[in-house]
Chains A and B, each alone.
Chain A
Amino acid sequence: MKVEEERMKNERETEGVFEPKIVGFLCYWCSYTAADLAGVSRMKYPPNLRVMRVMCSSRVDPVFIIKALLDGADGVLVAGCHPGDCHYQKGNYYARRKIALTKRLLESLGLEPERVRLSWIAASEGPRFAEVAKEFTERIRQLGPNPAKGALFL
């Protein structure tokens, strides 16, 4: 994050604007490369996404998502190769099932499935990565802070 952006963010926070913290699991082969491309192309997107690189979107165990949410992350983004493009042939199909399961679980428990997002971002789609980051940050900003953040007995 650039120094200037950091300064602006801190300013907004002191002004009482809610700055979401979003955990992003990006697949090594596509989405992480797209983030890299967005970076070297100097595209602008909100600095709220904390990126974690995984070798495949299917590596993201639903437990990781729940862990992030219970520990106070305001949103979780999982991004991988488009269906059919997985480096490991079918990893992203499994990932899709895991996300579907996680979202349904959150829904059944009366939590907020909107805080979890699955997106397919190819390595060449730098602009799309920036767009997804922007959109998702905006959505989470609208949702407000994760209520789990203050809970002591989780």
Chain B
Amino acid sequence: MAKVVEIPEGLEAFLISLLEKGIVSGLVVLKYLEESSKASYALVPAGGDTEGLAPLFPFMPANAGKVLSRLTLEGPFPNPIAVVVRPCEFRAFVELVKLEQGHMENLLIIGLECGGVYPLGKMVKENVGDFIGAYYEALKKGEIVPDIRPVCQGCDLFQPVGADIVVSVVGRGVPQLAFLTEKGLDAAEKLGLELKEGEVFAPLSQALLEARRERKGQIAEEIKGEVKGIEGLERVFGKCIGCHCCSHVCPICYCKDCFFESATFDYEPISYTERLERKGTLRVPMDTVLFHLGRMTHMATSCVGCGMCEDACPVGIPVSQIFKFIGSDLQELFGYVPGRSLQEELPLTTYRLEEFSEVEE
């Protein structure tokens, strides 16, 4: 049970009232670019242009975790800022803060109960008006929305964790706000909202959770079958053109000097001819699979499964499904859930004195 309030006038009006009452000095939120078919993240100051806020727009043009990291890399905001984020975006931000790539202070976190987002291609190539109605209909019924990102279809962490204010939409005709922290309650009080006791999530949210879990199992099994063994890796990653877009849009891949873009894997000509003698043919550029598997060892323990990488891939490799489901094996190994808590240490930056005796021989 928590302090809740329904907002029939919509989330946009609530956000604007936060600005108008001076509770926050700015918003980080999705905002329409042209009419209501395209949106992008924007930092909207008090007194700024609040036309066309689109907090619930079901697309992720950038992972907000990465956006927030860019905004708070050099230091925290001097004044309170409200940010509207999906759970995976917030979890990515928590990971980035642990990696010293951002600051959590002075942020009022408004977490969306997430119905998933569509692949970005749909925003650019199709008429959003044609399918957006169906999106909200499916959410109201607590069903998995068809055609959303495959990782979203198998995401069971769509209920926000660690947010000050939770926006519940699944299984509800009218969105509901739940104020979970002192910061959140303080904002509600200043706004003069009449709060009542209630459940944070609607009962249908639980139904969606179960449906998502089932789908997650299916996708995990499918994808693991697909990348199995050397043949699987060759088949799946053989298409890779080495653009590294997946790592550029990845919120967790923050390294300015990526190992795989360094000269580490450049060789002397003699090395190539020796390889040729062994293999007969050499794929160039080399090390495509190494890039993906290497990136996996570097970031998969923190992978939040947001799906940005898969959207960015020009040759349609199911990157995020592979990273999410292979990554969840690695996370399980360390009992780690990325972004669950700011206090939990990253698996590879900590250790226990007695553990993993099965790998010692």
Contact = CB atoms under 8 A, between A and B. Distances in A.
A94 B348 CA distance: 7
Q: Is the interface of A mostly helix, strand, loop or mixed?
A: helix
Contact of B230 (A62, A67, A117, A147): A147
B20 interface: no
Contacts of B348: 94, 97-98, 101
B227 A109 contact: yes
B360 A119 contact: yes
A55 interface: no
Interface residues of A, number: 40
Contacts, number: 121
Contact of A96 (B232, B275, B355): B355
A84 to B, nearest CB: 8
A117 B359 CA distance: 7
Using C-beta atoms within 8 Å of the partner chain, give the interface range for chain B: 35 or more
Of the listed residues B228, B234, B348, B356, the one surrounded by the most CB atoms of chain A closer than 10 A to its CB is: B356
B interface secondary structure, majority:
helix
A37 interface: no
Contacts of B280: 152
B2 interface: no
12 contacts: A62-B297, A67-B290, A71-B275, A94-B351, A99-B359, A102-B297, A104-B329, A105-B330, A110-B224, A150-B279, A152-B281, A154-B234
Interface of B: 224, 227-230, 232-234, 238, 259, 265, 275, 278-283, 286-290, 293-294, 296-298, 300-301, 326, 329-330, 333-334, 347-348, 351-353, 355-356, 359-361
Interface of A: 61-63, 66-67, 70-72, 83, 90, 93-94, 96-105, 107-111, 117-120, 132, 147-154
